[in-house]
Amino acid sequence: MKSNSKTKIFVNIGLLVIFIGILIYVMDNSLSDIFAQLMETSWLVVALVILLGVVYQIVEGRSIKEIASYFQKDFTTKDGFFTSCYVAFYRVISFGTGTLLSEIYFYKKKGLAISQGVGVTALHMIMYKVAVIFLSVLGLIVQFSLFYEHAPKMIPFILAGVILTFAIIFSLLVLSSSLNLQVFLIKWTNKYFKRQKLRDWVDKCNLQIYSLRETVLTITKDRSAAIRIFGWNVTKLLFWYVIPYVVLVQEHPKIDFLLVLSFTSFAVILSGVFPTPAGIGPFEFVYLLLFKPLVGTVDAVSSLLLYRFASFVLPFLIGFVFVLVQKRREIKSDLDAVKKEKEQAVEE
């Protein structure tokens, strides 16, 4: 017991050192341009960007709570808020590879079974993508004439992005709701996959699909809940999508509000189609492609950096503080355990 407590202390301290090291590296290499842009931006705009970013996380917390509370009644909007920030932190620390695992682990710490955590994570992703599709299609319909005028060559790509995203959602929903299809896939894979590693991988996938079906069926029985979750996801995206307008309207007072929202939604849906760590890369490319003809290169880049601050850096920093506090508590708890062990040893 004594060595176990000491080991935990060293592990937690080691993790803190690693986290701080990666934080310094990321700040110096990946985020320096964003913080430089913040210093050049008016404090009013920065305050609005931060406010919108925080409100997004609060609404995101509510949308997560609507799903997770079906399995853990004590799960609150505050828990959902820190879930989002916790995941954002590990998305950066793991360079995008630990995003889903960190979300599942957070749910586990809140009392959900791993299978339920997998289901909640999957449904959370599905509802997010449904909201992204909805706003993209709505923006394309409402602003089609202006969009055709500014970026006509992007229309086929937007449609392709919508179709591909819809296909992903449809496939997940079919797998999650059809027991017969899951049984068929298991029989087919057992017949043709003979290697043990492949069979183990199939078993893991089967568990995830089963968990997803359990979660989806539990929530979709309550239509009002599905509508609420969808509504919260649409609302949270609007708080992100309005950020470029808040940044650009100062220098471009005649810029069209709905067009900016539509352009941002198109960049988001295309960044979700092309898989890269944390969606970084394709989003920037599409965003600048759309906004540079509209406001010029300098302002387009400035608005992109501030958008990235609110949607990427801010939740990461909140998540970092949250993890720091958690690790501090764990280290304090382990130190208290070692102290008690020493006292007991002296008494004996």
- Evaluate if residue 105 carries a pLDDT over 70: yes
The DSSP letter of residue 278 is G
Q: Give the contacts of 319 (CB within 8 A, at least 6 positions apart).
A: 82, 85, 86, 87, 88, 89, 90
Instruction: Tell me the angle at which helices 77-93 and 99-109 cross, rounded to the nearest 10 degrees.
Output: 140
- Evaluate if residue 139 carries a pLDDT over 80: yes
Integer CA distances (angstroms), 76 to 97, 116, 227, in order: 27, 16, 19
Q: Using an 8 Å Cβ cutoff, are 246 and 256 in contact?
A: no
Spatial CA neighbour of 216 closest among 72, 59, 70: 70
CA separation for the pair 270, 274 (Å, rounded): 7
- Evaluate if residue 246 carries a pLDDT over 70: yes
Quick: pLDDT tens for 33-84: 888 888 888 999 999 999 999 999 999 999 999 999 888 889 999 999 999 9
Pull the structure tokens for residue 238: 């609007």
- Evaluate if residue 9 carries a pLDDT over 90: no
Predicted confidence at residue 238, as pLDDT, reads: 95
CA separation for the pair 33, 26 (Å, rounded): 11
Q: Which long-range contacts (CB under 8 A, 24 or more apart) does 75-79 make?
A: 75/110, 75/112, 79/110
198: pLDDT confidence band, cut at 50, 70 and 90? low
Instruction: Tell me the angle at which helices 257-273 and 155-177 cross, rounded to the nearest 10 degrees.
Output: 60
Quick: pLDDT tens for 276-308: 444 447 788 888 888 988 899 899 999 999 999
Alpha helix segments (H runs only) across 221-313:
223-241, 243-248, 257-273, 282-295, 297-308
**Per-chain mean pLDDT for the chain:** 81
Predicted confidence at residue 28, as pLDDT, reads: 57
For the entire predicted model, the pTM comes to: 0.81
Of the ranges 5-19, 191-205, 223-237, 316-330, which is most confident? 223-237
For residues 244 and 16, the model is more confident at 244
For residues 234 and 185, the model is more confident at 234
CB atoms within 10 A of CB 171: 10
- Evaluate if residue 138 carries a pLDDT over 80: yes
List the domain boundaries for the chain.
2-347
- Percentage of the chain beyond pLDDT 90 is 28
Lowest mean pLDDT among 139-153, 191-205, 219-233: 191-205
| Residue appearing with tokens 């300098």 | 298
CA separation for the pair 24, 21 (Å, rounded): 5
